[in-house]
Amino acid sequence: MMRYLRTCNILRVWRRFSSISAESVPVTESITNDIFRTNESNPVNHRVEHNSRFYSISEPVKKQLFAGGGLPKEYQSLSETLNGLCIMVRKPAIELIHYLNKTNFDAPVLRYVLYGKTGVGKSLSLAHVVHYGSSAGFVLVHVPWVPKWFQYVKVATPSSVHANKYDQPIEAVEWLKHFSTQNGHLLHKLELKTSNTYTWSKREVTAEGSPLSELIDLGLNRAKYATGCIVALLDELKRAASSKQCRLLVVIDGFNSFFSPKSNVIREDKSMVLPSDFLLTDALLSLTRNDWNNGAVVVSVDPSAHPPELRESPLPRYLLGKTGFEHLDPFVPIEVQNYNDKEFRSQIDYYIERNWLQQPKARTDNGQAELSFTSGKHPYSLMRLVAPY
Amino acid sequence: MSLSGLLRTLPTINAINSSLGSLSLLSRQPYSMYKPFVKEPVYNIEQLDKLIESGEAKKREFVPVKAARNDHNVSVFYDDLTSKFVNMVMVKGQKELARNLVEMGYMKVKQIQLAKYYEATTDAERAEIELNPITIFHKALENCSPVLQLTPIKRGGSTYQVPIPITENRARFLAMKWMILECREKERKIHFPERLAVELIDAFNNTGKVVKRKQDLHKQCENNRAYAHYRWG
């Protein structure tokens, strides 16, 4: 085994909300013995040269960022079988990282929309961006999978904050837990404070100037006020970002579900509660508007986030509908495509090296040609095809 | 020398009659709609190339060939035994479900073995762990195949269970049948693929309920070897 010596050390400068672009930080050596892997485990340094290579995410980072969701279920169980979470560095993520590095944080936030067929790699690209955001010092507002809030609601109660809207107490508590795990250490460091007084009931009041962690704790302990806490929290974060106290990265998977015409909640008079009738929808739509700065919004639209009868097209205009499109317009669309030849080879090599693809015939040219043809180089189909062999 | 040892030395019926050896499992159907001279189709591309090279292909140019079966294909992953097993798992013609169940079973086999593999610390330990689900399946079936079977023969008013030799096809059928029945046993809280994976790995290591059933059959045959001559009256 040859070992490559480091030619330069990285200077990790804590870039505290200045406009120094992250691209001034030198890139580490990324040569490894496997062509399909890279040693560069910091996504801030990922560049075009790392395309189609796998980089590994350590267990503690995975627990911190993705314990509340964010990785597709099958991919997560596969990564546990293969003894380590590795994500392929692909063009959409590199493009996003490049844009986020070059963002002018004084201008209003830019919205980026990832789109593509189901199973093509949008959620994993978003996971890569979440890891980047965490490494680059952003405060993360990460919604792992929006349809979970509308298609599988456990309990929906009329809101205590807003008369005509509905709360989702259980989902709200879950999300607050996820938020505090992802950003706990950062919030503690930043010491953000509330700028308003929030009266929850006669005895429960969150005074002006109290730390945001108090707000989060209230939500975690009192499910009744959890949704209201989230609304207040997101409002405060938006204000804090605009006043340069923190830098915010909003990452939402399955954004088109906010504009879906269905949910599983039915009122007593048998009428359906639409996603637009929930308080959380309002909170997140307010956050994804471009009326604030010092942050970025990365969103994905997926046909599988809509009910089965509305999955004709993977394109943003169809999935978002008129209201959704007008809400997000103007946005930067980024298409996630099937694997190209290099990525496909890399994926197969990874499966072989990890002892997942066992059949000896699959390692031959014929075998690889067959896999390429039958899967159409579609990432999810390839994963399912390779599973029994 | 034991009875089973003696019977094992005799050639099996299939071995005598089979024309293309391991290529086709169903070489001599007794009630086939085809005349005896109609050839089995060869799907495997490597074997086709060999036939062309050796000149056999020329001889088969004008010989009629049986119709292609739906589930047979030239895929690199095609395995005869797996295809047969899927057919036996199938109920009410739901082939896709049966295939998915067996494929999930193979995936679970890989998961179980890989967990052991990544826990192992030395290279020697790792070399011993078999990871290929198809290899495990073949060896498991081999370990579960009986060498003798019992047949009821009536002599003088009472029926005796007489040990007789078993054909390759019948042995393979019994192994698969017992495996499937074992996986369908009990409360059904654990689904078929998980049970199949565990049973296959057990049988691969020559343990487990299916191997025990085969050994019980062998024991019965051993006990009844006094009646072996009833086979010939």
What pLDDT score was predicted for residue B19?
43
What is the value of ipTM here, to two decimals?
A: 0.84
- Interface mutation vs chain B, best among A83, A366, A386, A389, most B CBs within 10 Å: A389
Q: What is chain A's percent helix, strand, coil content, to nearest 5?
A: 45, 15, 40
- Contacts A358 to B, Cβ<8 Å: 110, 131-134
Q: Least CB-CB distance to A359: which of B77, B111, B118?
A: B77
Contact call for B114 and A81, based on CB within 8 A: yes
Segment 198-217 of chain A within 8 Å of chain B by CB: none
CB contact under 8 A, B132 and A83: no
Cβ of B114 within 8 Å of Cβ of A358? The answer is no
Strands A205-206 and A198-199: antiparallel
A346 contacts A52 by C-beta, under 8 angstroms: yes
Residues of A in contact with B132 (CB under 8 A): 358-359
Nearest-angstrom CA–CA distance, A46 and A327 = 31
What are the tens digits of pLDDT across the range B116-165?
A: 999 999 999 999 999 999 999 999 999 999 999 999 999 999 999 999 99
pLDDT digits (tens, 9 = 90+) for A54-74: 999 999 999 999 999 999 999
End-to-end Cα separation, chain B, in angstroms: 23
Q: Averaged in consecutive runs of 10 residues, what is the pLDDT profile of chain A (389 residues)?
A: 42 38 40 77 92 94 95 95 94 96 94 96 97 95 95 89 89 96 89 88 87 92 92 94 94 96 91 93 94 95 95 96 94 96 94 93 90 96 94
Tokens of residue A18, six digits: 């200045």
Q: What is the pLDDT of residue B185?
A: 81
Instruction: Answer yes or no: are the C-beta atoms of A29 and A7 closer than 8 Å.
Output: yes
| Other CB atoms within 10 A of residue A130 CB | 24
Residues of A in contact with B76 (CB under 8 A): 359, 361-362, 364, 366-367, 370
Q: Which residues of A touch B102 (CB under 8 A)?
A: 388
Give the minimum alpha-carbon distance from A359 to chain B in angstroms, rounded to a whole number.
7
Do residue B75 and residue A83 have CB atoms under 8 angstroms apart?
no
Q: Does A136 touch chain B (CB under 8 A)?
A: no
CB contact under 8 A, B76 and A388: no
Interface residue A12 vs chain B (CB under 8 A): no
pLDDT for res B7: 54
Alpha carbon of B142: minimum distance to chain A alpha carbons (Å): 20
Token output for A259: 């504009």
pLDDT of residue A143: 96
Task: Give the pLDDT of residue A19.
Answer: 40
Residues of chain B with pLDDT under 50: 12-25
The shortest C-alpha distance from B98 to chain A (Å) reads 14
Residue B155 phi/psi, 5-degree rounding, is: -135, 120
Short-list B110, B90, B116, CA closest to B101: B90
CB contact under 8 A, B103 and A388: yes
- Model-level pTM? 0.86
Which of A231, A236, A164 has the alpha carbon at shortest distance from A200? Answer: A231
Any bridge partners for residue A113, and if so which?
Answer: A299, A333
For chain B, the 3-state helix, strand and coil shares in percent, each to the nearest 5, are 60, 10, 35
pLDDT tens-digit map of A192-212: 889 989 888 888 888 888 899
Q: What angle do CA B143, B148, B151 make, to 5 degrees?
A: 135
Count the alpha carbons within 13 Å of B200 in the hemisphere toward its beta carbon: 32
How wide is the angle at C-alpha A288 spanned by C-alphas A176 and A170, nearest 5°? 25
Q: CA–CA separation, A356 vs A341, rounded Å?
A: 20
- pLDDT one-digit tens code per residue, A94-118: 999 999 999 999 999 999 999 999 9
Nearest CA in chain A to B132: A358
Token look-up 């790699």 returns A121
pLDDT at A188: 86
Q: What is the pLDDT of residues B75-87, one digit of tens each?
A: 888 999 999 999 9
Residue B22's pLDDT is 38
Pair type for strands A111-115 and A295-301: parallel
Contact A362 B77 (CB under 8 A): yes
What residues form DSSP beta bridges with A55? A87
